[in-house]
């Protein structure tokens, strides 16, 4: 079973609030990813990291920011939540190497009211 955890699973928050979505993995993976998924739609990469102190933006533009201070943590932050940020956010990790399996967290379903 994959050891990658996201908290919270569900979050309903008011507009303008600052929120942080947590993602942790205990597999020692260097690569970590954040995906955004709207209902019935594809997953889109919004941030990725290849290791500590490495973060890059993904294919889909996002107002969120990420940090990678420790290998096992890859939190995502929204400084001022808006209803347009309502979505599901999925975290994933994989080991180094081109031929490696990705492991996904359970996801955080965010609703901004």
Partner 1 sequence: KNEVEQSPQNLTAQEGEFITINCSYSVGISALHWLQQHPGGGIVSLFMLSSGKKKHGRLIATINIQEKHSSLHITASHPRDSAVYICAVRPIRGGARQLTFGSGTQLTVLP
Residue 79 vs 111, nearer CB to partner 1 = 111
Contact characters 14-33, partner 1, x per CB under 8 A: -----------------x-x
Among 20, 67, 86, 88, binds partner 1 (CB under 8 A): 88
What is the enclosing helix (H) or strand (E) of 37?
strand 31-37
* 95 binding partner 1? (CB under 8 A): no
Judged by CB under 8 A, which stretch of 11-19, 64-72, 78-86, 91-99 contacts partner 1? 91-99
Q: Is 83 helix (H, G, I), strand (E, B) or coil?
A: helix
State how far the Cα of 73 lies from the Cα of 58, in Å rounded to an integer.
18
Q: Is 81 helix (H, G, I), strand (E, B) or coil?
A: coil
State how far the Cα of 70 lies from the Cα of 52, in Å rounded to an integer.
6
Among 61, 70, 99, 113, binds partner 1 (CB under 8 A): 99
């Amino acid at each position: 079973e994959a050891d990658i955890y996201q908290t919270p699973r569900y979050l309903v928050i008011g507009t303008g609030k600052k929120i942080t979505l947590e993602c942790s993995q205990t597999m020692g993976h260097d690569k970590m990813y954040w995906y955004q998924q709207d209902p019935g739609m594809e997953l889109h990469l919004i941030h990725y990291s290849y290791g500590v102190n490495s973060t890059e933006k993904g294919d889909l533009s996002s107002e969120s920011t990420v940090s990678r201070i420790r290998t096992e943590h890859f939190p995502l932050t929204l400084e001022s939540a808006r209803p347009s940020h309502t979505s599901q956010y999925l975290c994933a990790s994989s080991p180094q190497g081109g031929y490696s399996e990705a492991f996904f967290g359970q996801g955080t379903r965010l609703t901004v009211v």
